[in-house]
């Protein structure tokens, strides 16, 4: 394992050196063409960039490489020196589990449900808030801060906050209110049919503030004369939104859809803290955590991660292709 790490780091350093040499050669050619280009500045820029690239290599690229290799092994965390190559056995077990409607199947369905609902809900909330905050009215700056506040709060704190609100029995704030009204307490987070939808709502509420700021920056970039021209042509507010706002936000919308989709596929903290290990709320990312750290089957967990990465990557590229702007 240490030898592999050294080899990967060595390859990274070699690649880094190649980029520096390539830049020096480009600098010399530029000097011949009387273009101002400083070799010293170029090397200095790479040296300043090196610490960030080293950290990315150690904490992002290296784990990805290890995970890719572990996916084809029977690596058990308590037996680090007894790792055997099993080929596609882990992937066969995953497919078998899906066919038997086991834990992996439940995790896939819950993740799919989360993505299908949270992506349009969170984007719709963010766009609506951006349109509201973009209006020139007194106090909108305060509302902007309030809407963005859940984003800067830790997801762990937010999840526990909603557990206190939606808690079962009469311990939750909402149920305490219902009991005072003479209504029986509702188990919001432990009903198989409804628990996932509460997690979806909390996730959309917690994350929409960030997308709101992105949409708001996009709205600021739309020429106001376009709205004036549309209004002179007799276009209604709805027509102005479809004909001016949506086309003006096309590139922003593409970015937001892709980032929200990727974030939704990686959901883990909310179901972990709000409901625990329940079959009706477990997600793929949470299942990877359970298999890798609770049951310590790193090989099986890495296989799930690899399949998930391939699927998310393929869908992301497809989204980018379908939503790309025409030249």
Q: 319 in a domain, yes or no? A: yes
| Number of structural domains found in the chain | 2
Q: Which range marks the domain in which residue 259 is found?
A: 92-323
Q: 86 in a domain, yes or no? A: no
Rounded distance, CA 308 to CA 302, Å? 10
Q: 198 in a domain, yes or no? A: yes
- Residue 76, CB-side half-sphere exposure with 13 Å CA sphere: 5
pLDDT of residue 34: 46
- Report the chain's C-alpha Rg in angstroms: 25
What lies within 8 Å, CB to CB, of 232 at 6+ separation is none
Residues 108 and 255 in one domain: yes
Residues 291 and 143 in one domain: yes
Helix then strand then coil, in percent of the chain rounded to 5, is 75, 0, 25
**How far is C-alpha 268 from the geometric centre of its chain's CA atoms?**
11
SS3 state of residue 102: coil
Q: 304 in a domain, yes or no? A: yes
Asked if 323 and 151 touch (Cβ cutoff 8 Å), the reply is no
Q: 223 in a domain, yes or no? A: yes
Q: 263 in a domain, yes or no? A: yes
Please tell me the pTM assigned to this model.
Answer: 0.81
**How far is C-alpha 155 from the geometric centre of its chain's CA atoms?**
13
Per residue in 69-115, pLDDT (tens digit) is: 899 999 998 888 888 999 999 999 999 999 988 899 999 999 999 99
Q: 142 in a domain, yes or no? A: yes
Residues 165 and 282 in one domain: yes
Residues 34 and 158 in one domain: no
The model's confidence at residue 291, banded by pLDDT at 50, 70 and 90, is very high
Residues 59 and 108 in one domain: no
The model's confidence at residue 51, banded by pLDDT at 50, 70 and 90, is confident
Residues 220 and 294 in one domain: yes
Higher pLDDT, residue 61 or 165:
165
Residues 190 and 293 in one domain: yes
Mean pLDDT within 155-173: 84
Residues 221 and 105 in one domain: yes
Tracing tokens 């780091």 back to the chain, one arrives at 9
């Amino acid at each position: 394992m240490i030898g592999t790490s050294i080899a990967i780091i060595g390859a990274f350093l070699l690649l880094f050196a190649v980029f520096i040499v390539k830049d020096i050669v480009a600098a010399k050619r530029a000097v011949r063409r009387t273009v101002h280009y400083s070799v010293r500045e170029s090397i200095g820029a790479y040296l300043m960039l090196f610490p960030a690239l080293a950290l990315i290599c150690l904490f992002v690229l290296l784990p990805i490489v290890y995970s890719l290799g572990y996916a084809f092994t029977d690596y058990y965390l308590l037996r680090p020196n007894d790792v055997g190559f099993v080929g596609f056995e882990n992937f066969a077990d995953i497919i078998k589990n899906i066919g038997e409607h086991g834990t992996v199947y439940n995790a896939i369905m819950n993740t799919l449900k989360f993505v299908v609902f949270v992506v349009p809900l969170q984007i719709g909330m963010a766009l609506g808030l951006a349109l509201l905050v973009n209006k020139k009215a007194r106090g909108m700056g305060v509302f902007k801060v309030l809407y963005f506040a859940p984003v800067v709060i830790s997801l762990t704190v937010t999840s526990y906050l909603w557990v206190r609100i939606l808690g079962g029995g009469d311990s939750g704030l909402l149920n305490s209110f219902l009991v005072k009204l003479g209504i029986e307490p509702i188990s919001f987070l432990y009903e198989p049919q409804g628990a996932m939808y509460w997690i979806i709502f909390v996730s959309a509420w917690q994350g929409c503030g960030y997308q709101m700021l992105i949409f708001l920056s996009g709205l600021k970039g739309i020429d106001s004369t376009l709205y004036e021209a549309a209004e002179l042509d007799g276009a209604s507010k709805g027509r102005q939104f479809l004909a001016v706002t949506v086309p003006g936000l096309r590139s922003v919308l593409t970015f937001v859809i892709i980032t929200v989709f990727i974030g939704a596929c990686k959901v883990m903290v909310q179901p972990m803290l709000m409901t625990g290990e329940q079959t009706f709320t477990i997600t793929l990312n949470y299942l990877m955590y359970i298999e890798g750290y609770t049951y310590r089957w790193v090989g099986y967990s890495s296989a799930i991660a690899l399949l998930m990465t391939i699927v998310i990557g393929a869908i992301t590229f497809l989204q980018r292709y379908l939503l790309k702007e025409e030249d």
